[in-house]
Amino acid sequence: MSLLIDTKEGVSKDYVSLMTVHSAKGLEFKNIFIIGFSDSIFPSKRAIEENGNVALEEERRLAYVAITRAKDSLFISDARG
């Protein structure tokens, strides 16, 4: 789900979109910031415990989607920042 709020000044071309990897499928952006890219967070420990290798493969596909959305720059941080 993405939210864009119009102001009285109009819509700026410079804004930040916060979205899940799922909602970013099929879209591209100039700069991408992926946060929390570390074991137990991404890939999700819970998903892997519940569904094993099937979940691990899905998490791997989602990581690929996230990484390939960037046109110019990709920034990845782990849980420590």
**In this model, does residue 1 exceed pLDDT 50?**
no
Single pTM value for the model: 0.69
Answer yes or no: is 19 within a domain: no
- pLDDT per residue as tens digits for the range 36-58: 888 888 778 888 888 888 888 98
- pLDDT per residue as tens digits for the range 17-31: 888 888 888 899 999
Q: How many helices, marked H, and strands, marked E, lie in the chain? A: 2, 2
Answer yes or no: is 27 within a domain: no
Q: How far apart are CA 33 and CA 78, in angstroms?
A: 11
Answer yes or no: is 80 within a domain: yes
Return the pLDDT at 4. 53
Pairing outcome for strands 29-34 and 70-76: parallel
**In this model, does residue 33 exceed pLDDT 80?**
yes
Domain that holds residue 81: 35-81
Q: Considering its fold, how many domains does the chain have in total?
A: 1
Answer yes or no: is 43 within a domain: yes
Answer yes or no: is 49 within a domain: yes
